[in-house]
């Protein structure tokens, strides 16, 4: 699980790429989750921006 505080809100997502499972890095400049394995990118709250993945990140509920 990973917490990110962005724009004053807390977003909890599993930082595991939904393509083949690589660990994501948080890009502080663009506020995105970036996968260094094959290039998928997600918004700070886990929505897919572009693939090869086509699924959003798993959200962690309270
Ligand atoms: S494992 Fe992340 S893009 Fe392939």
Separation between Cα atoms, residue 41 and residue 36, nearest integer Å: 9
The pTM score is 0.88
Ligand 1 in contact with 20 (CB < 6 A)?
yes
Ligand 1 in contact with 54 (CB < 6 A)?
no
Any residues with CB less than 8 A from the CB of 10 and at least 6 apart, and which? 3, 4
Ligand 1 in contact with 35 (CB < 6 A)?
yes
Q: Could you tell me the domains of the chain?
A: 2-50 (2.102.10.10)
Give which of 11, 9, 13, 10 is closest to 1, Cα–Cα. Answer: 13
Give which of 24, 2, 12 is closest to 61, Cα–Cα. Answer: 12
Percent of the chain with pLDDT over 90: 74
Quote the ligand 1 centre to 62 CA distance (angstroms): 27
Q: Give residue-wise pLDDT tens across range 12-31.
A: 999 999 999 999 999 999 99
- Say yes or no to pLDDT of 1 above 70: no
Quote the ligand 1 centre to 52 CA distance (angstroms): 7
């Amino acid at each position: 699980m990973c917490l990110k505080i962005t724009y004053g809100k807390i977003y909890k997502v599993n930082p595991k790429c939904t393509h083949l499972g690589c660990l994501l890095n948080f890009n502080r400049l663009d506020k995105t989750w970036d996968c260094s394995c094959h290039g998928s990118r997600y918004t700070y709250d886990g929505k897919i921006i572009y693939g090869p993945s086509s699924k959003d990140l798993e959200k962690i509920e309270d």
